[in-house]
Structure 1
Amino acid sequence: MDELKNLKLQLIEEVENNKDELIDFCAKLIQIPSVNPPGDTTEITTFIEDYLNEVNIPYDKYESAEKMFNLVASIGNGKGKELVYCGHTDVVPVGDLSKWEFNPFSGEVKDGWMLGRGASDMKAGLAGIIFATKMLKKLNIELPGKLTLAIVPDEETGGEFGVPWLLERGYVSGDGCLIAEPSSPLNPTIGQKGSYWFELEVRGEPGHGSLSPLAGRNAIVDAIRAINEIRTLWDIEIDIPVDVQPLIEVSQKYMREVEKDRLKYQEVLEKITVNIGTIGGGTKSNVIPDYCKVHIDCRLPFGITQEKVTEILENKLDALHIDYTINRFGFKSVANYTTAEDPVCKSIVDNISFVTGKEAYGVMQWASSDARHFRQHDIPVLQYGPAYLPSIHGYNEKVLVEDIVRCAKVYITAAIDFLYQK
């Protein structure tokens, strides 16, 4: 054990001594626009290939859709367990440029912050797992088993051509996985809510606006009635399964004591959340609209299935006697988790404490990610990565440089613990 501890201390020192390379690598990833949509990862994939080639890390490259590239790279002797480190190269659009205080693709470091789109979600984490793997290779560390990088192009729009594409074809497997998605410094996410995204299409009868509401049937008005019913999904009391109640409780403790600005959000872990995301319909103000489309994002807690939500929705909307259709799209999953006692969770949590000297524990995520796909393929998984959480998907995205370095230290030491465990 002392031998492994000394090796980990040596690796922490190597990360510290080479942190300028890590930060420069992260900056260059941010400087390459890889916005999804459209999802063209050609340039950033080529850049990562060149970085892996510097130390001759072998990899396979798969184009899962036009200009969407997956990289699968591995090191180790292959004679033991396999640990997967996963990250996505795509980022969400930048939105209104006038609302940014800096160039979203600058990759600038200022006052201890790495700036730019993807800094927190998740090019800093991506840089960390690639850098840690490269350091292990460069230092000729004899790893039992295999450490695999799964670098995917398509997470921000649902991930169809990234993680699930690789898993379904058997290009990636493993005994445990770490996704370098954003998290808090001491609390990786070991569970997540389910996702239920859908489009509500309401149809009406057109007519002259001057005769409304006596003429025609207003699809927008019917859609408003439907929306009011859909929002009542929040009010449903759901029985949380006994086996996940400890995870819910520790996650609520985290929201009370760590991310205290999340205190008011504790209920979301046990409720169906409902976001009315977009709405559109009609042709002009003096025409009774004959259609309305609404996009809605619901997140599901443990204790309810996709099918049950569909049944509830249809019962509510049928009672309105409107002409409607529900079309599913985007994320589709039920709540899922990996036990805190699983070796991959223990390896990450123990090494967060080893690196920081502070107590760490896993919590639940109220959103969704690629983790669900690994669990569907019976691969235990958790998420841990550098982030300034309030900036994710927003303007002026950023992350602390010290957090990037800390996470890289955790990645490199956790790989040692996981792969050397019998």
Structure 2
Amino acid sequence: MKEKIRTLVDFHKENIIKLTRTLVATPSETGTEGLIISVLTREMHEMGFDEIIVDEMGNLIGKMGTGPNVLAVDAHVDTVGLGDLSNWGFNPLYGKIEDNKIFGRGSCDQKGGLVTALYAFKLLKELGVPKNLTIYFVASIYEENAEGVNWQFIIKNLGIKPDAVLLTEPSNLGISLGHRGRIDLEVHATGVSSHGSMPDLGVNPIYKLSKIISEIEKLHENLPVDPDFGKGSIAVTAINSQSVSLNAIPEKAIIYLDRRLGLKDSKESVIKEITKLPSVMDASAEVKIHSFKIKTHKGYVQTVIAYYPSWKMNDNHPLVKAAIEAFKSQFDEEPETKLWQFSTNGVATKGLFDIPTIGFGPGDEKYAHTCEEHVPIDHLVKATEFYLNFYFKWAENTKE
């Protein structure tokens, strides 16, 4: 099987490179993914998917097979923005090839993973989908701004809840078993407005928050160390106040907190650690989870609660074992297993819904979101080989 896979992938190598460059040249900043969804829909029809839909939110979902074992392969299509174009030494929407690498926005995060996983579906179709397997390809949207919101929609509204999920985010060809979570919090303090020339007649909520900020800084220093993810963190990331003018004491003030989560942290526990701070109690401040509205390329509107749980797979889980065995059988070497430093759609699949989830993708994640973003062409080849091998290996390791 190894040599058959290698020969097939080598035969399609130039097409894989071409499609990756095409997608890099297709703008798909979060909220504007309509064009790339159309491009991928055409590709998937040509690849012979059994079913293809674009859901109400705007995710593109293709299906092959009708077996009892359900595997979903996720690749988000959206990217962060380009930023200041003068910081790029080339056109970030061209798909430049240099030193056997494809450069441009989204090349690493994560159109290389998208194309290689998708091409593995095409080759799976050519070789024959195992009878006991149903496999979904999910080209998900809005991941960069609200990771996991796409899969929450898919599971709750479409009823698709697979037995396992493979994320194709960049992992430098390592097998990722999870990552830290995060929660965005708001601390609200109220005051009494007065003229700025007579501050003693008012109550300044900013002063209340200044004491809270000092205690949060100390809280950060004393957060426990998670055995898997290291020391927890909390940071004040923004402050805002509401005042009738710059010459008035504000009536309200808010600070925004970024709290990174270990496996034992829950939204309830982290809110409690803030509300029990003496300065918060003295100020009668309100602590709540930040929320915001999104509007997708299809016009779907949703309020997002900014809670993204941590998750980690056990080394001995059958999904992890299947991935390791697929890598070893294809490349005759042990894979690196790792934890991602960034957040993914796994916050929903594993963090919220406890669906076994792993990650594997081409590209070194340290180049994601940078002006040096690229994916090595040899990574594209190896990732396609791995995905195809893994699709078969997962079918072998699961129930008939």
Mark the CA change 1:277 to 1:319 in structure 2 (over 3 Å): closer, same or farther: closer
What CA distance in whole angstroms lies between the structure 1 residues aligned with 2:230 and 2:364? 25
The DSSP-based 3-state class of the residue aligned with 1:326 is strand
Q: Distance in 1 between matches of 2:191 and 2:38?
A: 50
Partner of 2:299: none
Aligned twin of 2:8: 14
- 1:193-235 per-position Cα deviation (integer Å, ceiling 9, x unaligned): 22211233333344444555x4534443433332222233333
Other structure's SS at 2:5 match: helix
Structure 1: which amino acid aligns with 2:41? E
**Match among 265, 268, 278 for residue 307 of structure 1:** 268
Deviation at 1:180, TM superposition (A): 0.3
Q: 1:146–1:419: 8 Å Cα contact kept in structure 2?
A: no
Q: Deviations over 1:230-274 (max 9, x none)?
A: 23333345475xxxx5xx2xxxxxxxxxxxxxxxxxxxx232212
Q: Is 1:234 aligned to residue 220 of structure 2? A: yes
Task: Structure 1 unaligned segments of length 5 or more: list them.
Answer: 1-6, 249-268
> C-alpha displacement at 1:370, in angstroms?
1.3
For residues 67-88 of structure 1, the C-alpha deviation after alignment (integer angstroms, 9 at most, x for no partner) is: xx12221223x23422211111
Contact 2:238 2:255 in 1 (8 A): yes
Equivalent position amino acid for 1:133 in 2: F
Structure 2 distance, partners of 1:327, 1:97, is 37
Asked whether the 8 Å contact 1:102–1:396 carries over to 2, the reply is: no
Classify 1:396/1:210 alpha carbon distance in 2 versus 1 (closer, same or farther; 3 Å).
farther
Task: Name which of 311, 318, 322 aligns with 1:343.
Answer: 318
* CA offsets 1:293-351 (integer angstroms, 9 cap, x no match): 33322111122322111111011165463353333134414432222222221222223
User: Deviation of residue 124 (structure 1)?
Assistant: 1.2
TM-score, length of structure 1 as denominator length:
0.81
Structure-2 separation of matches of 1:391 and 1:215: 53
In structure 2, the residue matched to 1:201 is: 188
Counterpart of 1:413 in structure 2 is 389
Matching residue of 1:272: 232
Would you say the 8 A contact 2:185–2:256 is kept in 1? yes
Tell me what 1:55 maps to: 47
C-alpha deviation, 1:368, in angstroms: 2.8
Q: How does 1:343-362 map to 2 (within 5 A)?
A: 343-362=318-337
Match of 2:95 in 1: 107
Among 49, 62, 73, which residue is 1:73 paired with?
62
Q: Residues 261-291 of structure 1: CA distance to partner in whole angstroms, max 9, x if unpaired? A: xxxxxxxx23221233333336665444444
Cα distance, 1:160–1:179 mapped onto 2, change above 3 Å: closer
Q: How does 1:1-400 map to 2 (within 5 A)?
A: 7-36=1-30, 39-65=31-57, 69-76=58-65, 78-137=66-125, 139-144=126-131, 145-159=133-147, 161-186=149-174, 188-210=175-197, 214=200, 216-238=202-224, 245=227, 248=228, 269-281=229-241, 286-316=247-277, 318-319=279-280, 321-322=282-283, 324-329=285-290, 330-375=305-350, 376-400=352-376
Q: 1:48 to 1:360 in 2, by over 3 A?
A: same
Q: Residues 339 and 34 from structure 1, CA distance in 2 versus in 1: closer, same or farther, beyond 3 angstroms?
A: same
Identity of aligned residues (%): 22
The residue type equivalent to 2:48 in the other structure is: N
Partner SS, residue 124 of structure 1: helix
**C-alpha RMSD over aligned residues:** 2.6
For residue 277 of structure 2, give the secondary structure of its aligned residue in structure 1: helix
What is the letter of the counterpart of residue 312 of structure 2? Y
Is 1:402 the equivalent of 2:378?
yes
Out of 85-94 and 269-278, give the one that drifted further: 269-278
1:102-142 Cα offsets, whole Å, 9 max, x none, are 233222222222222222221111111111111222x2424
Aligned counterparts of 2:225 and 2:112: Cα–Cα separation in 1: 38
SS in structure 2 of the partner of residue 303 of structure 1: coil
Verify the 8 A CA contact 1:80 1:146 in the aligned structure 2.
Answer: yes
Change (3 A) 1:109 1:281: farther
Change (3 A) 1:148 1:315: same
Conserved? CA contact 1:238–1:304, under 8 Å: no
Gaps of 5+ in 2: 291-304
Q: Secondary structure of 1:93's match?
A: coil
Q: TM-score, normalised by structure 2?
A: 0.86
Q: How many residues align?
A: 381
Q: Using a 3 Å threshold, how does the CA distance of structure 1 residues 14 and 185 change in structure 2: closer, same or farther? A: same
Distance 1:391 1:239, change over 3 A: closer
Q: For the Cα contact (< 8 Å) 2:180–2:260, is it kept in 1? A: yes
**1:33-92 per-position Cα deviation (integer Å, ceiling 9, x unaligned):** 2212xx132111110011011132133323333xxx12221223x234222111111112
Taking a change above 3 Å as real, the CA distance of residues 55 and 194 of structure 1, as seen in their structure-2 partners, is: closer
Q: Letter of the 2:265 partner, please give it.
A: I
